[in-house]
Structure 1
Amino acid sequence: MITVHLRYEIDADKLSDFEEYGRRWIRLVNRLGGQHHGYFLPSEGDSDEAFALFTFPSLAEYEQYRLRAATDPECMEAYRFAAETRCIRRYERRFVSPLFE
Structure 2
Amino acid sequence: MFEKIEDYFYDEPGRIIQSGKWTIKTGVFLILAGAIGQVPVRATNALFLLAKQPAPTKTLADIYPTLPLWWVPESWLGIFFPVAIIAIGISVSAYGHKLNSMFRGV
Q: TM-score, normalized by length of structure 1? A: 0.31
Q: Is the radius of gyration larger for structure 1 or structure 2?
A: 2
Q: What TM-score results when the alignment is normalised by the length of structure 2? A: 0.30
